[in-house]
Amino acid sequence: MNWLTDVLHNDPDPTETREWIESLKAVIDHSGAERAHQLLENMVELARRAGAHLPFSPTTEYINTIPPHLEPRMPGDQTLEWRIRSIIRWNAMAMVVRANRKPGDLGGHIASFASSATLYDVGFNHFFRGSDGEHPGDLVATQGHSSPGIYARAFLEGRITESQLDHFRMEVDGRGVSSYPHPWLMPDFWQVPTVSMGLGPIAAIYQARNWKYLESRGLMPKTDRKVWCFLGDGETDEPESLGALSIAGREGLDNLIFVVNCNLQRLDGPVRGNGKIIQELESQFRGAGWNVIKTIWGSYWDPLLANDKQGILKKLMMETVDGEYQNCKAFGGAYTREHFFGKYPETAAMVASLSDDDIWRLNRGGHDPHKVYAAYDLAMKTTGQPTVILAKTVKGYGMGSAGEALNPTHQTKKLDDDAVRAFRDRFKIPIDDDQLKDGNVPFYHPGEKSDEVQYLLERRRALGGFVPKRRRKADERLTVPKLESFERLLKSTGEREMSTTMAFVQSLNIILRDKQVGPRVVPIVCDEARTFGMEGLFRQIGIYAPTGQKYKPVDRDQLMYYREDAAGQVLQEGITEAGAMASWMAAATSYSTNNLQLLPFYIYYSMFGFQRVGDAAWQAADMRARGFLLGGTAGRTTLNGEGLQHEDGHSHLLSGAIPNCRSYDPTFAGEVAVIIQHGMKRMIEDQVDEYYYLTLMNENYPHPDLPEGAAEGVIKGMYLLKDAGKPKKGELRVQLLGSGTILREAIAAAELLDKDFGVTADIWSCPSFTELRRDGYDAERWNRMHPEAKPRKAYVTECIESRPAGPVVAASDYVRSFTDQIRAFVPRTYTVLGTDGFGRSDTRANLRRHFEVDRFYIAHAAIDALAKDGKMTAKDAARAIKLYKIDQEKPNPLGV
Ligand SMILES: Cc1ncc(C[n+]2csc(CCOP(=O)(O)OP(=O)(O)O)c2C)c(N)n1
Ligand SMILES: [Mg+2]
């Protein structure tokens, strides 16, 4: 069989075709493949222009993108690097095996790092730059399950002690190291939390984009910094991994390098047993405008491929599916000879003189430092495009029969003694059998003075210091605008109506005018700026567009036209909440990554926030993000027309579960200003690692003065908005609590109560039931721990007790568990009203009646509570039902 014979078989003019092919062959022989490529591109273009339909071919041969003759010579001492890598492999394995020989089911992974050790090693020895010197440093996102390998290197570097290694996954007493990259737990070490599959890659894309944005805006000098992102081939199944590729291609992020560790396996089994993940990824990345470098075969294959004049080996490589490639590594040389090379006589002949062991040694590209070096070198030199390196590796490389290329290898964390000895022999670790007795697997350190350690330290010195290494605080000291700057928001609006969303936009404008903090503001929207009345920002500060605006905007005659600018400040992300969240995180961690503080405000539909990108919100918390998230047009009855999928009644429960996220549901402009000013001060001046979530509403109403001295209460979660004074003798009193727009229903309920029942009400605005709950639990816990000390009081308890009388009724536009969170600290009868159940579209008044949170239901609940307290009677409660036209047989909105 011959490729040319095949081609010519059905050809109408074989002579002509043969001539063309011969000519091209001659070009390849004399001027090289690149020249042939150039000629062909021109021909294809010519044919397309003439009308020929030539479909785009997104994939290339199943061989390395860089041919051997174009590989640069790898610098450094290869023998020493192999020894270093072997020691790192050993210690990474030992960490996991030791952890799992202890009681406690600590878990851990050997196989992921075993497959990627070379990919990391070449990076650490030759490419990743630290930030100790002039260079600002690269950012390296590693695969979460490869963390043992990163620790094992840090151990040789002297950054992590043997005891820390030995307490892998034992963090509670501060002795050990984290299971995965968690900046929250190791704030001087890890920079990017990656273990939730997909979040690393999307974070990396927006991180690279953030650097371009800062450079373009002149906030950061232009540099050659790179974001390196290591991810698994299985991980690419996640929509987040590939979903943002196009922005990287479109914006030409040449500061971004993805390395996909293509070990062909994920957790359960093969990634694409019946296909080829590398080819699939090649087409996806290429289609998105990336520079794709395939590093499939190691150097031992070079002579075979060079001899493959007829292209039969390449054809075989292309035909073989990943499931079969996995077999080759699982079953060894003899199997590979028979089942792979044996498929065609020509390929069988190619390996006839090789032993089975030689065949076994035919290595994959990702395990060959020379090939990996060539790929990284080319990636570093690529301009105008992001690069992805698709490196083929073996899962569990070096684990032998204990797991190499076997389906359960991902979960293998225990190796038996034989497997440990085999591992030692394969990587020539100088530990003798005696030391391995009784199930012992000691760590190996060659000594600080050893060639290995000296070499590795010298490499890191030359590259600017250790990686990863995290900066905790920015060096700069900025001063944020004082509360007085927000004065117009703190004062009554009189008759003028506005929404809290408008109050936010006005606050933002005030901050934007501040000389220090203004330029650091990063407003982020995903195609909803108009929804929130923020389109004024388009013209005012411009929308970031790396190329500037190449067209005249259609609304150019208008005041607020769509202005795109290379120095634009607004990040218009398009319709991608996941992308916008990643973008926000890049800005929110700039204090650490860039030693430059930014103040990102990401505003979105609150329903498409925590529940849609909740995992990213958790990642942001781990990453110690500092910034504002704004759940726009929130509330289950306040955003009224949009219906079930839009009306948010629970985002506060989700945000409230994030320990360092501080959530607020303000009602009035003054509260919005106080919260934003406080948040800015905490995050920028005090550099506290927390972030803020505010729900904003679109209902317009007048706003009162912020009461004197209320600011502290706003931050703590509640303040007395209306003091009904000391009750007169016989006067019945209730305490009404509310947040968001429903507080206004409570205010209206107070009037009804007074008018219809002569009951007076103290009214509390509660911008954060979540903060109140946290404070309450804190006091309760302290008291339990200190039984003999004077007990502390929860702030809520203090507030309520400061009022002489009255049961407490709370209402909000969120589910009842939201206001219920403080029940344990409310020292009186406590009733909660909320919006449990599915939202739907209707008028606000109808929705509030449906969810039983309007003024009538609040007033009725207050009478009911007074009746329960024995201050009124069931008759009074029944009268309220009648008076307020409450349908007693109305079904529970939860089930409707
Ligand atoms: C969002 C998410 N889902 C599931 C997991 C559980 N998980 C951990 S590793 C893994 C398989 C990873 O395979 P791959 O990305 O190919 O990495 P490899 O270990 O093969 O390098 C899975 C499913 C996770 N960590 N994150
Ligand atoms: Mg994999």
Q: What is the pLDDT of residues 160-177, one digit of tens each?
A: 999 999 999 999 998 899
* Residue in 455, 453, 460, 411 with CA at minimum distance from that of residue 140: 460
Would you state the structure tokens that stand for residue 256, as one six-digit string? 């971004």
Ligand 1 probe mutation, 231, 266, 399, most atoms within 8 A of CB: 266
Between residues 4 and 678, which one has the greater pLDDT? 678
pLDDT score recorded for residue 55: 77
Would you state the structure tokens that stand for residue 324, as one six-digit string? 């079969």
pLDDT score recorded for residue 3: 65
Residue 221: phi and psi, rounded to 5, are -65, 155
554: how many CB neighbours lie within 10 A of its CB?
9
* Residue in 223, 245, 244, 324 with CA at minimum distance from that of residue 292: 245
Rounded to whole angstroms, the Cα distance separating 846 from 207 reads: 45
Compute, in angstroms, the gap from residue 234 CA to the centroid of ligand 1. Answer: 6
Compute, in angstroms, the gap from residue 751 CA to the centroid of ligand 2. Answer: 65
Q: For residue 738, which amino acid is it?
A: G
Would you state the structure tokens that stand for residue 891, as one six-digit string? 């079904």
Nearest CA to ligand 1 atom 4: 197
Work out which ligand 1 atom sits closest to the CA atom of 196: 26
Work out which ligand 1 atom sits closest to the CA atom of 112: 19
Rounded to whole angstroms, the Cα distance separating 116 from 437 reads: 29
- Which residue do the tokens 């087409």 mark? 283
Closest-lying ligand to the alpha carbon of 202? 1
Would you state the structure tokens that stand for residue 547, as one six-digit string? 């190329």
pLDDT score recorded for residue 824: 98
Rounded to whole angstroms, the Cα distance separating 569 from 537 reads: 9
**pLDDT greater than 90 at residue 105:** no
pLDDT score recorded for residue 505: 97
**pLDDT greater than 90 at residue 1:** no
Compute, in angstroms, the gap from residue 175 CA to the centroid of ligand 2. Answer: 31
DSSP state of 731: -
Q: For residue 496, which amino acid is it?
A: R
Helix (H) or strand (E) holding 316: helix 312-319
* Residue 677: partners with Cβ closer than 8 Å, 6 or more residues away: 480, 481, 482, 483, 485, 486
Ligand 1 probe mutation, 180, 235, 237, most atoms within 8 A of CB: 235
Compute, in angstroms, the gap from residue 195 CA to the centroid of ligand 1. Answer: 8
Q: Contact, 617 vs 662, CB < 8 A?
A: no
Q: Contact, 739 vs 694, CB < 8 A?
A: no
Compute, in angstroms, the gap from residue 588 CA to the centroid of ligand 1. Answer: 26
Rounded to whole angstroms, the Cα distance separating 257 from 379 reads: 7
Rounded to whole angstroms, the Cα distance separating 140 from 138 reads: 6
DSSP state of 616: H
- Which residue do the tokens 């590209």 mark? 365
Q: What is the pTM of this model?
A: 0.96
3-state DSSP call for residue 407?
helix
Work out which ligand 1 atom sits closest to the CA atom of 198: 1
**pLDDT greater than 50 at residue 210:** yes
331: how many CB neighbours lie within 10 A of its CB?
14
* Residue in 140, 111, 137, 145 with CA at minimum distance from that of residue 123: 140
Rounded to whole angstroms, the Cα distance separating 296 from 743 reads: 63
480 lines ligand 1 (CB under 6 A): no
537: how many CB neighbours lie within 10 A of its CB?
24
Work out which ligand 1 atom sits closest to the CA atom of 233: 16
DSSP string, 378-397: HHHH--SS-EEEEEE--TTT
Q: Contact, 790 vs 779, CB < 8 A?
A: no
Nearest CA to ligand 1 atom 20: 266
3-state DSSP call for residue 759?
strand
Ligand 1 probe mutation, 262, 410, 613, most atoms within 8 A of CB: 410
pLDDT confidence bin for 54, thresholds 50/70/90: confident
395 lines ligand 1 (CB under 6 A): yes
Rounded to whole angstroms, the Cα distance separating 190 from 230 reads: 14
Q: Which of 52-56, 98-102, 410-414 has the lowest mean pLDDT?
A: 52-56
- Which residue do the tokens 């933002």 mark? 508
What ranges make up the beta strands (E) of 678-788?
691-695, 701-702, 719-722, 732-738, 759-765
Residue 545: phi and psi, rounded to 5, are -145, 115
Percent of the chain with pLDDT over 70: 100
Q: Contact, 261 vs 296, CB < 8 A?
A: no
Instruction: Write the pLDDT tens digit of every residue in 410-439.
Output: 998 988 999 999 999 999 999 999 999 888
Q: Which of 52-66, 236-250, 627-641 has the lowest mean pLDDT?
A: 52-66
Would you state the structure tokens that stand for residue 322, as one six-digit string? 């990943």
* Residue in 788, 831, 815 with CA at minimum distance from that of residue 893: 815
Q: Contact, 427 vs 89, CB < 8 A?
A: yes
Instruction: Write the pLDDT tens digit of every residue in 610-626.
Output: 999 999 999 999 999 99
Work out which ligand 1 atom sits closest to the CA atom of 237: 15
Work out which ligand 1 atom sits closest to the CA atom of 263: 20
Q: How many residues does the chain have?
A: 896
pLDDT confidence bin for 83, thresholds 50/70/90: very high
Would you state the structure tokens that stand for residue 145, as one six-digit string? 């399950």
Average pLDDT of the residues in 725-733: 95
Rounded to whole angstroms, the Cα distance separating 409 from 329 reads: 13
Rounded to whole angstroms, the Cα distance separating 122 from 43 reads: 39
Helix (H) or strand (E) holding 756: helix 742-757
* Residue in 714, 736, 862, 871 with CA at minimum distance from that of residue 810: 736
Q: What is the mean pLDDT of the chain?
A: 96
Would you state the structure tokens that stand for residue 557, as one six-digit string? 């005659």
100 lines ligand 1 (CB under 6 A): no
- Which residue do the tokens 């005891």 mark? 163
Q: Are strands 759-765 and 719-722 parallel, antiparallel or unpaired?
A: antiparallel
Closest-lying ligand to the alpha carbon of 111? 1
pLDDT confidence bin for 2, thresholds 50/70/90: low
Q: Are strands 599-605 and 521-525 parallel, antiparallel or unpaired?
A: parallel
First to last CA, the chain: 71
Distances, alpha carbon 726 to alpha carbons 731, 802, 803, 859, 870, in Å:
9, 11, 8, 20, 20
Rounded to whole angstroms, the Cα distance separating 579 from 583 reads: 6
Instruction: Write the pLDDT tens digit of every residue in 758-778.
Output: 999 999 999 999 999 999 999
**pLDDT greater than 70 at residue 355:** yes
Rounded to whole angstroms, the Cα distance separating 406 from 389 reads: 24
261 lines ligand 1 (CB under 6 A): yes
pLDDT confidence bin for 886, thresholds 50/70/90: very high
Between residues 279 and 8, which one has the greater pLDDT? 279
Rounded to whole angstroms, the Cα distance separating 711 from 670 reads: 9
* Residue 271: partners with Cβ closer than 8 Å, 6 or more residues away: 233, 234, 237, 262, 264, 265, 277, 322
Compute, in angstroms, the gap from residue 282 CA to the centroid of ligand 2. Answer: 16
* Residue in 444, 453, 449, 450 with CA at minimum distance from that of residue 87: 444
Compute, in angstroms, the gap from residue 199 CA to the centroid of ligand 2. Answer: 16
Rounded to whole angstroms, the Cα distance separating 295 from 65 reads: 7
Give strand pairing partners of 632.
605
Compute, in angstroms, the gap from residue 715 CA to the centroid of ligand 1. Answer: 40
Q: Contact, 672 vs 786, CB < 8 A?
A: no
- Which residue do the tokens 């350190």 mark? 445
DSSP string, 506-570: HHHHHHHT-TTTGGGEEEEESS-TTTTT-THHHHHH-EE-TT---S--TTTTSTT---EETT--B
Compute, in angstroms, the gap from residue 233 CA to the centroid of ligand 2. Answer: 5
Helix (H) or strand (E) holding 811: strand 808-811
DSSP state of 630: E
Compute, in angstroms, the gap from residue 107 CA to the centroid of ligand 2. Answer: 18
* Residue in 475, 472, 468 with CA at minimum distance from that of residue 596: 475
233 lines ligand 1 (CB under 6 A): yes
* Residue in 295, 505, 256 with CA at minimum distance from that of residue 392: 295
pLDDT score recorded for residue 104: 85
Q: For residue 106, which amino acid is it?
A: L
Q: Which of 10-14, 297-301, 631-635 has the lowest mean pLDDT?
A: 10-14
3-state DSSP call for residue 149?
helix
Instruction: Write the pLDDT tens digit of every residue in 229-268.
Output: 999 999 999 999 999 999 999 999 999 999 999 999 999 9
